[in-house]
Structure 1
Amino acid sequence: MSLEERVTDLESRLAFQDDTIQALNDVLVEQQRIVERLQLQIAALLKRQEEMAGQFGALEEDAPPPHY
């Protein structure tokens, strides 16, 4: 294999690697967006759960025990 063929082969491999790295980066960026959105949703659900637990907790304190 001549030097020119080897350089051409290396350039070709580099181009494919650059494309692969860019594709992986695009996927990583999208996954990060999804993770951030899920974190916001979880935080909102936790807040809602705490609010509802507070409402039901106040009602349960005033209620008579279930055996009455």
Structure 2
Amino acid sequence: MSDETRITALEEQIAYLTKTVEELSDIVAQQEGILEKAERRLGMLMEAEALRQSESEGTVPLADQRPPHW
């Protein structure tokens, strides 16, 4: 295998890897946005449930209580 052939093969491999890294970076960025949105929604749901429990029962919200096995 000549040096020129080896260099061409390496350049092709680098181009392929670069494209793959860019695609994975885009996917990770999308997933980060989805995860942040899900975390915000979960926080809002937990707050709403804690408020609902405190208003209906007048006690400490269930999420703030220790489990019975402790």
What is the CA–CA distance in structure 2 between the aligned matches of 1:9 and 1:41, rounded to whole Å?
A: 48
Normalising by structure 2, we get a TM-score of: 0.80
Normalising by structure 1, we get a TM-score of: 0.82
Q: Which residues of structure 2 form unaligned runs of 5+?
A: 59-70
Runs (4+) of structure 1 exceeding 4 A deviation are none
Match of 1:33 in 2: 33
Number of residues paired by the alignment? Answer: 58
CA-atom RMSD in angstroms: 0.6
Higher helix share: 1
Higher Rg? 1
The percent of aligned pairs where both chains have the same amino acid is 26
Match of 1:49 in 2: 49
The structure showing larger relative contact order (alpha-carbon pairs under 8 Å, at least 6 residues apart) is: 2
